[in-house]
Structure 1
């Protein structure tokens, strides 16, 4: 039996409810034992353990090590770093990743660019195998006051997303190759992921220190090279990460950026 992991933001009731709705829809199609839903299946609300965070990490990692596909729920410009780490873990193993969003926002390197991406970090676009996006509300009409009708329009979009996810998993592609082990070269490669909140001096200092110890370095360029297509530089960053024997990630800032969380995994 295949096992599907539903990765979602955990910290608010509406995020957990959306994850539970999609997991419930998948369980009706594939069976309850085919779906793993964090927080719910680890009983996080009631888990009593002297090192609860570590125990939850172990429980989630145990499932991540044997899943056949991941459904990752991603919304908004500030993506959940925990979900992005789960995506990075799955991508490194070659596990197919299906992303789900009802976000009507799109992103690009500049305001006037013709390039429109579903996520603020193009590295996510590169590692995710398929994006299911339903940004529109459902059809107007129905009964009740205007708020009830508006709620029905939003629930219609969520139902459509869940149905499309189940349909996609029914005919899911075979897993891709796992990230290869680091290349064995005379000069090892170090991958550097700078912080989006600044840190040019950090990059220079870390690069100098690594080169002094015999490393070649690759600096993530999908945000720093404004003249390049970010989808191409994201691919180059991921390829460099696959061949690196060391990754150094700057996680400074009010939150861990999504690409940094993905690389960190």
Structure 2
């Protein structure tokens, strides 16, 4: 079993959590069968002319040779790089287990179906969601603590330990590989899937209108309007994998999670990808070129568009 652990890289506690999971899993399947990004790509000592692109290439190479993935996701703001990796794995038929300790559930309307994540795509592609939402039980001590905070910390640590053990058990009990969702090779003139951003002020259809005006057949998401959001999400995933092109608006504080997931699925399927972002923002990391999105999203997209003329040019190409 070869397992990829996808996790947010940009904070020490997330990296430590992923390392704890990797260590527990390695004890069961062997250390050479567990891939932990950042650790195993050795980013801090990696020498490359364009380091971000090289990291993307190394991670994508591993994504193409997997038996399973564990994705660690917390809270309503989901890491776009992790979501891209989930989409790549899911479209390739790799089973994905998602680990979360978020105690909230979500819905698209006040009385709508309860979902584990804000975008139903995450729930649709996960073969298993390991969710440990409650704190561990209070610890009993023979001596009164000097402060109430260590006890609260211990309860949270117990919660995480339970979640990690449950994730390892779920991996060891995986069924056969998931259905392979990669579509047929893209055909010139086939449809364009347009994924809007929920953060934009100009509405959800400005990119779709541009595609229609350019003479293309357009598919738009079903999951936000379907009575069954998870079924709609699966339909969206299949549509992207069989499209000729994906045009995704990646505007926002980070790429919206559904958009990032679909970019990963499109990348695995050989679909042409363009990322639209009218007002780019850049992130900076020591020794790495500035990125206008998470590097997994940035380098999966073949084109970065920032205005209507650029969109029309890409559609004509």
Deviations, residues 186-240 of structure 1 (Å, cap 9, x unaligned):
9622211111113335234333234x1xx321111323x2x73322321221232
1:53 and 2:57 are equivalent in the alignment: no
Deviations, residues 100-129 of structure 1 (Å, cap 9, x unaligned):
00110110012233x211111001111111
Q: Give the equivalent residue in structure 2 for 1:161.
A: 163
For 2:219 and 2:172, the matched residues in 1 are separated by: 39
Q: Determine if contact 1:192/1:247 at 8 Å carries over to the other structure.
A: yes
Q: Determine if contact 1:9/1:16 at 8 Å carries over to the other structure.
A: yes
Match of 2:125 among 102, 124, 127: 127
Q: Give the equivalent residue in structure 2 for 1:176.
A: 178
For 1:72 and 1:201, the matched residues in 2 are separated by: 31
For 2:104 and 2:20, the matched residues in 1 are separated by: 23
Aligned alpha-carbon RMSD (Å):
1.9
For 2:159 and 2:27, the matched residues in 1 are separated by: 19
Give unpaired runs (5+ residues) of structure 1.
none
Query: Which stretch has the larger CA shift, 183-192 or 29-38?
Result: 183-192
Q: Give the equivalent residue in structure 2 for 1:222.
A: 223
Q: Give the equivalent residue in structure 1 for 2:206.
A: 202
Q: CA deviation at 1:38?
A: 0.4
Q: Give the equivalent residue in structure 2 for 1:151.
A: 153
Q: Give the equivalent residue in structure 1 for 2:7.
A: 8
Q: Give the equivalent residue in structure 2 for 1:27.
A: 26
Q: Determine if contact 1:81/1:257 at 8 Å carries over to the other structure.
A: yes
For 1:182 and 1:51, the matched residues in 2 are separated by: 32
TM superposition outliers: structure 1 runs of 4+ over 4 Å: 183-187
Cα pair distance change 1:117/1:200, threshold 3 Å: closer
Normalised by the length of structure 1, the TM-score is: 0.91
For 1:204 and 1:216, the matched residues in 2 are separated by: 9
Q: Determine if contact 2:188/2:244 at 8 Å carries over to the other structure.
A: no
Aligned residues: 258
Q: Determine if contact 2:183/2:242 at 8 Å carries over to the other structure.
A: yes
SS at structure 1 position matched to 2:167 = helix
Query: Which stretch has the larger CA shift, 74-83 or 180-189?
Result: 180-189
Cα pair distance change 1:132/1:13, threshold 3 Å: same
Normalised by the length of structure 2, the TM-score is: 0.77
